[in-house]
Amino acid sequence: MSYRIERRDNTTASKHLNKEEMQQAKYGILRRAVSCDMTYLDRRDHYHSIYYNKMVCAPGFEIDRTSGGLSYKVGDYYLSSLLGRGGGGSVYEGRHRKTNKRVAIKVVTKSRTEETRAAQGSNRRGSAGKDVNSSVAYAKKIQRTRKEYTVMSHLRDHRHITKLLDVVENDKAICLVLELGAGGDLFQHIQQKGRLSLYESWFLFRQLVSAVAHAHAQGFVHRDIKPENVFLSEDKKTATLGDWGFADVWCSFKDLKEGVGSLNYCSPEIVGGLPYTGPEVDIWSLGTCLYAMVTGNLPFAADSPKQVVMNIKTSNFVLTGSCEADPLLYDLLSRLLNPNTLERAKMADLLEHRWFRNGPTLAHIKDRRKRTGSATNVLATNNRHRTRVN
């Protein structure tokens, strides 16, 4: 079956169909419905500038005609703008069709689309091996997604853990319907402010630690704690920890061996390929998040991934600005970012630390004047090495 798709807008923005640019007032033929994927319709202007003579459904979704335009529906939810895309899937803002409640919907496809096969050159030599590798990768991603919603189901009652509201699954995709962080993520917040005041850092850090401590007590480790996975309420005063795709069960008598996470936030044992129990890698990542909040930078950033790994293994970091005048903060960071797992702070040590319990001193709380930290440092370094270990 073929579908006639016509472009009727007057913008100069580039639009594509089947990887080929579409000109204004021109139409193209879409041979198969599955080759029209949301990957190529994720920018808002696409929804208004492409006219469908015959509505085409992307894999795993239905088309809703009631809104008068192109709207994707999955289960009882309508999808709107793309919030982000990563190795674990794409996240869209959505709303419930009856209550209009705003939600975040994480979409994990179960296989490659026809466009992806074409983009990767499935007709070229060696494509069979790539297809096999891709199938294994997708199977692993689906397995992680199932584990993610299992973990989140166990942790859903904690105030500072992103709530799993619903799971919608069909033969093409798994969709996790999640609580929406209307205030964006912590990474964006740091980027906008340059760095956070010591008081705000302490206030949000306590919430993040509360979530991690609860998960550890329930027998789970997150393994990918970073500012991008911490979501804020609209007033920026409530933080929730999300993206549990790399979470796993931990116990004191069994080591984990899988090297996962995001490079700048990984512990020495992860980057070194060593076995670990679990909680210690989360403790390390909490230290890197705290450092990013109070300085606006990453503690081990470098010009190459190799140098980042070297910096992580030696754990050489420097506090800058007013932060260096707070000895309790430096002591806490030194304990959290200790490369020796036997000497690194345990969760109990963190919860009892004076800086964590009492916060920065009055003199440091007054550090609310206009800050001079660079608003691009943490963004530039993190984007340069967003590499996942696995």
The domain that contains 111 carries what CATH number? 3.30.200.20
Q: Does residue 42 fall inside a structural domain? A: no
Phi, psi of 5 (to 5 degrees): -120, 125
Residues 106 and 214 in one domain: no
Q: Does residue 306 fall inside a structural domain? A: yes
Task: Give the pLDDT of residue 30.
Answer: 38
Task: Tell me, yes or no, if 224 is annotated catalytic.
Answer: yes
What does pLDDT average to over the chain? 77
What CATH number has the domain bearing residue 213? 1.10.510.10
Choosing from 113, 148, 179, the residue where a domain stops is: 179
Residues 243 and 164 in one domain: no
Residues 147 and 263 in one domain: no
Q: Could you say which of 37, 185, 224, 243 is catalytic?
A: 224
Task: Give the pLDDT of residue 156.
Answer: 85
Task: Give the pLDDT of residue 326.
Answer: 84
Q: Does residue 266 fall inside a structural domain? A: yes
Q: What percent of the chain has pLDDT over 70?
A: 66
Residues 154 and 217 in one domain: no
Task: Give the pLDDT of residue 45.
Answer: 37
Distance CA 282, CA 248 (A): 12
Domain tally, the chain: 2
When pLDDT is averaged across residues 256-285 and rounded to a whole number, the result is 95
| Most distant CA atoms of the chain, gap in Å | 71
Q: Does residue 29 fall inside a structural domain? A: no
Q: Does residue 102 fall inside a structural domain? A: yes
Q: What percent of the chain has pLDDT over 90?
A: 48
| Structural domain range at position 68 | 48-122+133-179
Task: Give the pLDDT of residue 388.
Answer: 62
pLDDT at 136 exceeding the cut of 60: yes
Residues 69 and 161 in one domain: yes
Residues 172 and 193 in one domain: no
Residues 322 and 258 in one domain: yes
Q: What is the pTM of this model?
A: 0.75
Check the annotation: does 106 bind a ligand.
yes
Q: Does residue 7 fall inside a structural domain? A: no
Residues 232 and 166 in one domain: no
Residues 143 and 59 in one domain: yes
Tell me the pLDDT tens digit for each residue of 213-231: 999 999 999 999 999 999 9
Task: Give the pLDDT of residue 188.
Answer: 94
Residues 206 and 352 in one domain: yes
Residues 151 and 211 in one domain: no
Residues 256 and 171 in one domain: no
